[in-house]
Amino acid sequence: MAHAKNHDYHIVNPSPWPFVGSISGLVMLVGLVLWMRDITPIFALLGLVGVVVVMYCWWADVVKESRNGADHTPVVRIGLRYGFILFIISEVMFFVAWFWSFFRYALFVQPETAQFAEGGMFPPEGVHAFNPWGLPFINTLILLLSGCTLTAAHHYLIEMRENDGEVGETRKKIFWTLAATCLLGAIFLMCQAVEYMEAYHHGLTLQSTYYGASFFMATGFHGFHVFVGTIFLIVCLVRVGRGHFTAEKHIGFEAAAWYWHFVDVVWLFLFASIYIGSATFFSFGH
């Protein structure tokens, strides 16, 4: 009884995953350096496999903790929300760096990159700038629609009550609206792949010009976030099917929804600057 828990905080059990994850991350980092120096990609791939395994096992343990009914108290759930908000803030600053880089060279051609901005233009003369009202606009509608279906699923979950006699029907609504969100995320990624193939067809590459570097780095990292967000939502879809979430306890679903809406908002800024801006506002001499 001297060690009985008399507080609302969750003291985690000893876990190997922080140590294994740090070692895997180090191996992946060193491996990437070796790969970039054309030595070998083996260590980078081994580190990546280790990181993925740690992510699966560690998050599976967190899901188990959330299911036992004792560990994820209201105080713990508040801490999880704050932690995820800080994570999203760090992601915002990550994309701020790409926007800063884009606008710096879009508005002022720097001497050190003048050779990549032929004619003092941004995008440079002869560089294919995408029509923002074609595939990029379709992708914008897809992401906005996915945000709507995800919000609908979230509202169904909040309104679900275990004693209302219709919990089964409500769970079906959550499942199918969430499945629609995952499908829309996959369609977005396929459309972006088609867009990249079109870009390469017109000679726009990561190394071709500074515009190409800005375009592929910003949209590529956003696409990676869409991919990760889709995985998050698929995990939530499986958990919905297994009845893991309730109206009172669904912090995993909530975090995935916040992440997806963050991805939506970032895309709107990308669409307005890199697509519309490059095709109109920045297409003049400096």
Same domain (yes/no): 234, 161:
yes
222 and 255 together in one domain: yes
pLDDT of residue 286: 40
Please tell me the predicted confidence (pLDDT) of residue 154. 92
- pTM comes to 0.84
Q: Is residue 284 part of a domain?
A: no
The pLDDT of residue 176 is: 94
Could you tell me if 63 and 111 lie in one domain?
A: no
Q: Are residues 124 and 105 in the same domain?
A: yes
Q: Which of 71, 92, 114 is the last residue of a domain?
A: 71
Q: pLDDT, tens digit, for every residue of 255-284?
A: 999 999 999 999 999 998 888 877 775 554
Domains in the chain: how many in total? 2
- 34 and 110 share one domain: no
User: In whole angstroms, what is the distance from residue 17 CA to residue 57 CA?
Assistant: 8
Question: With a cut of 70, which residues of the chain have pLDDT below it?
Answer: 1-6, 69, 108-128, 161-167, 281-286
Domain extent at residue 40 = 1-71
Q: What is the pLDDT of residue 210?
A: 75
Tell whether 199 is covered by a domain: yes
Q: Which of 71, 92, 116 is the last residue of a domain?
A: 71
CATH of the domain at 6: 1.10.287.70
Residue 251 belongs to a domain: yes
Residue 80 has a pLDDT of 87
